[in-house]
């Protein structure tokens, strides 16, 4: 059941990010622990994909492997036709904790990345770029403040500005709003969506908030519980963009999708061992096709 | 207590009470001069002055003040190599401490960084460091003399300007005061949050940029804690070094006055050392707090 409208326009590359038989195994003297096994996923250019699953199921590990911060034990990762080997500024990462450098102002934190990517641009151009993104995320008046002077939500705004300012090929968001209260979370989801609407940067986000996933993404990838986590189900989200939170929640499909996701999560919460999901693989290929 | 708090007297009055109690204790154990009139074995009356008390040779606060006055009244006077005003001695000692201390930081900080960055290096160096760390300055000094026995710089007049004992003095200060800087820097480097390092990795900062933009600023608060402790030790060591070399300075003066039997001035030296140590520590705390991040 795929809504054509939800799919990105046909001229874009369908397999902008390809993850093939991704495996992460930790070896220890006691034996080896397989965290993620046989993880396959294709993400089209300009698509917003969310990984959901239980805490510790390995979804963050997948993101970390795409970011290059964790090496994959086996399998292949290709982004825009080039194999991913190690971290790089072509993937903008928004961490769960804002991870700003506390001795730098908001502007300097964004500039650190901007100078790294746009090293050929003049200092004035780089500054302009950094300030543009800080303004877009609503921090025009706080650019000279250090993280300690900013609220948790404002810090994460800086984190988002820093990732977007790199003009990355891809955006990786690791539970970016997990540490925020729900009102701030709503605000920041809107900020993220606004920025994303302007640039349509291919995005992969990890979350365990079902509503957040439905509001932001084009497709939701449900991961089975670890060990040996893999893709369990892929749910396309048919809501039209640009999205409005109220409109999304009033959409007739909303509660059906929400229920489907929650049911998936509940099935996997109560069974330690992975239940075989016959629909899982099928949906995967269906969506990729 | 409410009365104290209301008038903020507790911060003035209580220290005064402490100092007063200390002075009373000092007075109680200090020697008192007594004049006794006795008859000698021929039956003639003689007056004898004797010192009595728990510690008969310990000068009383008043005697100490009297004997110290010339050194305090003219703090920069130079009457001889080992007879100078107390501040003149302090400056001599401080300049030696600073030289040794800077050597300690120049060696200790990079060493701490390597220890913090490399587990292999830590494993290799740890036993040596743990064994060398608790060694007293008194033990290092002779080794310094042996190590630098051939050091001798002579000026135009044939006078030695920098000899083996000077080198040994610096060596001793450096080797004793280095460890807090080393250990704290290493701990600081290990404590750099992974988040910061991930940012550096994701942005693909070069090694130099990662060091100067991320690692160093993140470690600075720890480093300055180490630097402050190191300075305290360097100042402790100076007395021992000056005693052993007999160089002019607070410690050298102290030892000379002990040998000369003027015990009052020992107390002056001790108080000076204490006060200078306190001032140094406070100054470093100010610097340290400026580098506190987050």
- Give the closest residue to B233 by CA, choosing from B169, B177, B159, B164: B177
State pLDDT tens for residues B215-235. 999 999 999 999 999 999 999
From chain B, pick out residues whose CB is under 8 angstroms from the CB of A68: 201-202
State pLDDT tens for residues A186-212. 999 999 998 998 888 999 999 989 999
The nearest CA of chain B is from the CA of A91 a distance in Å of 8
From chain B, pick out residues whose CB is under 8 angstroms from the CB of A119: none
| pLDDT of B177 | 94
Percentage above 90 pLDDT, chain A: 57
Q: Which residue of A has its CA nearest to B199?
A: A99
Q: Is B54 on the interface with A (CB under 8 A)?
A: no
Does residue A282 surpass a pLDDT of 70?
no
B213 contacts A112? CB cut-off 8 A: yes
Residue range A47-71: average pLDDT?
90
Q: How far apart are CA B254 and CA A133, in angstroms?
A: 65
Nearest to B201 among A87, A92, A148 (CB): A87
Q: How far apart are CA A164 and CA A94, in angstroms?
A: 9
Taking phi over 0 as left and psi of -120 to 50 as alpha, with beta for the rest, A239 belongs to: beta
Percentage above 70 pLDDT, chain B: 96
Does residue A3 surpass a pLDDT of 50?
yes
From chain B, pick out residues whose CB is under 8 angstroms from the CB of A148: 293-294
Question: Phi then psi for A221, rounded to 5 degrees?
Answer: -105, 120
Residue range B161-179: average pLDDT?
91
Nearest to A113 among B203, B217, B294 (CB): B203
Return the SS3 of A8. coil
| pLDDT of B4 | 61
From chain B, pick out residues whose CB is under 8 angstroms from the CB of A147: 294
Nearest to A116 among B193, B196, B203 (CB): B203
Q: Is A67 on the interface with B (CB under 8 A)?
A: yes
| pLDDT of A165 | 93
Q: Which residue of B has its CA nearest to A95?
A: B195
The nearest CA of chain A is from the CA of B204 a distance in Å of 5
| pLDDT of B5 | 65
- Give the closest residue to A188 by CA, choosing from A109, A94, A267: A94
| pLDDT of A62 | 92
Percentage above 70 pLDDT, chain A: 88
Q: Is B62 on the interface with A (CB under 8 A)?
A: no
Reported as a pLDDT band with limits 50, 70 and 90, residue A287 is very low
State pLDDT tens for residues B10-67. 788 888 999 999 999 999 888 887 888 888 888 888 888 787 888 888 888 888 888 8
Q: Which residue of B has its CA nearest to A149?
A: B294
The nearest CA of chain A is from the CA of B201 a distance in Å of 6
Reported as a pLDDT band with limits 50, 70 and 90, residue B3 is low
Q: How far apart are CA A270 and CA A278, in angstroms?
A: 18
Q: Is A99 on the interface with B (CB under 8 A)?
A: yes
From chain B, pick out residues whose CB is under 8 angstroms from the CB of A87: 198, 201-202, 204
Which of B202, B213, B219, B292 has the most A C-beta neighbours within 10 Å, making it the best mutation to test the interface with A? B202
The nearest CA of chain B is from the CA of A76 a distance in Å of 19
Nearest to B294 among A93, A116, A148 (CB): A148
| pLDDT of A286 | 38
Any idea which of A56-70, A88-102, B79-93 has the lowest mean pLDDT? B79-93
Does residue A276 surpass a pLDDT of 80?
no
| pLDDT of B56 | 83
Residue range A123-137: average pLDDT?
94
| pLDDT of B272 | 92
Domain-by-domain residue ranges, chain B? 78-290
| pLDDT of A42 | 93
Any idea which of A189-193, B141-145, B246-250 has the lowest mean pLDDT? B246-250
Residue range A104-109: average pLDDT?
94
A69 contacts B202? CB cut-off 8 A: yes
Q: Is the dihedral of CA B204, A92, A106, B224 positive or negative?
A: negative
> What's the mean pLDDT when you consider all of chain B?
88
Does residue A109 surpass a pLDDT of 60?
yes
B196 contacts A99? CB cut-off 8 A: yes
Q: How far apart are CA A207 and CA B277, in angstroms?
A: 55
CATH of B78-290, one of 3.90.1170.50, 3.40.1190.20, 1.10.3720.10, 1.10.357.10: 1.10.3720.10
Does residue B126 surpass a pLDDT of 70?
yes
From chain B, pick out residues whose CB is under 8 angstroms from the CB of A90: none
The nearest CA of chain A is from the CA of B69 a distance in Å of 49
Reported as a pLDDT band with limits 50, 70 and 90, residue B293 is low
B202 contacts A93? CB cut-off 8 A: yes
């Amino acid at each position: 059941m795929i809504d054509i409208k939800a799919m990105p326009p046909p001229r874009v590359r369908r397999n902008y990010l390809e993850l093939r038989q991704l495996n992460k195994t930790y070896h220890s003297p006691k034996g080896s622990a397989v965290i993620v096994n046989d993880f396959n996923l294709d993400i089209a250019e300009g698509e917003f994909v969310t990984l959901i699953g239980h805490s510790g199921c390995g979804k963050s590990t997948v993101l970390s492997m795409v970011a290059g911060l964790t090496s994959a034990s086996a399998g292949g990762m290709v982004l825009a036709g080039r194999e991913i080997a190690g971290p790089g500024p072509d993937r903008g990462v928004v961490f769960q904790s804002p991870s700003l450098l506390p001795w730098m102002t908001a502007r300097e934190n964004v500039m650190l990345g901007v100078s790294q990517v746009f090293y050929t641009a003049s200092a004035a151009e780089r500054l302009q770029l950094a300030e543009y993104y800080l303004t877009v995320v609503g921090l025009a008046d706080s650019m000279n403040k250090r993280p300690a002077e900013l609220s948790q939500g404002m810090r994460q705004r800086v984190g988002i500005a820093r990732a977007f300012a790199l003009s990355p090929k891809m955006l990786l968001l690791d539970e970016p709003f997990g540490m925020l209260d729900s009102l701030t979370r709503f605000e920041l989801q809107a900020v993220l969506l606004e920025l994303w609407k302007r640039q349509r940067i291919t995005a992969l986000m990890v979350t365990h908030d079902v509503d957040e996933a439905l509001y932001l993404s084009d497709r939701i990838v449900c991961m089975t519980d670890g060990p040996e986590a893999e893709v369990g189900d892929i749910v396309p989200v048919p809501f039209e963009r640009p999205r409005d939170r109220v409109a999304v929640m009033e959409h007739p499909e909303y509660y059906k999708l929400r229920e489907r996701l929650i049911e998936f999560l509940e099935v996997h919460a109560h069974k330690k061992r992975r239940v075989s999901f016959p629909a899982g693989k099928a949906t995967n290929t269906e969506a990729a096709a | 207590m409410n009365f104290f708090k209301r008038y903020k007297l507790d911060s003035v009055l209580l220290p005064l009470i402490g100092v007063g109690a200390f002075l009373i204790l000092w007075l109680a154990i200090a020697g008192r001069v007594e004049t006794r009139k006795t008859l000698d074995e021929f039956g003639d009356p003689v007056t004898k002055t004797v010192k009595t008390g728990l510690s008969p040779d310990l000068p009383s606060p008043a005697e100490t003040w009297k004997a110290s006055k010339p050194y305090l009244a003219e703090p920069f006077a130079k009457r001889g190599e080992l007879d100078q005003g107390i501040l003149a001695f302090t400056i001599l000692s401080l300049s030696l401490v600073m030289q040794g201390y800077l050597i300690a930081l120049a060696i200790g900080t990079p060493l701490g960084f390597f220890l913090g960055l490399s587990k292999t290096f830590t494993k290799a160096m740890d036993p040596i460091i743990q064994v060398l760390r608790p060694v007293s300055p008194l033990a290092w000094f002779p080794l310094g003399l042996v190590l630098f026995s051939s050091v001798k710089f002579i000026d135009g007049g044939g006078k030695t300007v920098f000899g083996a004992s000077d080198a040994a003095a610096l060596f001793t200060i450096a080797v004793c005061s280095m460890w807090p800087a080393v250990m704290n820097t290493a701990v600081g480097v290990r404590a750099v949050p992974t988040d910061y390092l991930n940012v550096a990795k994701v942005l693909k900062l070069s090694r130099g940029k990662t060091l100067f933009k991320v690692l160093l600023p993140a470690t600075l608060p720890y480093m300055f804690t180490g630097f402050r402790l190191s300075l305290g030790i360097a100042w402790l060591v100076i007395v021992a070094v000056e005693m052993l070399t007999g160089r002019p300075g607070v410690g050298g003066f102290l030892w000379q006055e002990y040998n000369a039997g003027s015990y009052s001035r020992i107390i002056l030296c001790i108080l000076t050392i204490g006060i200078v140590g306190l001032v140094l520590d406070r100054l470093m705390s100010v610097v340290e707090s400026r580098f506190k991040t987050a």
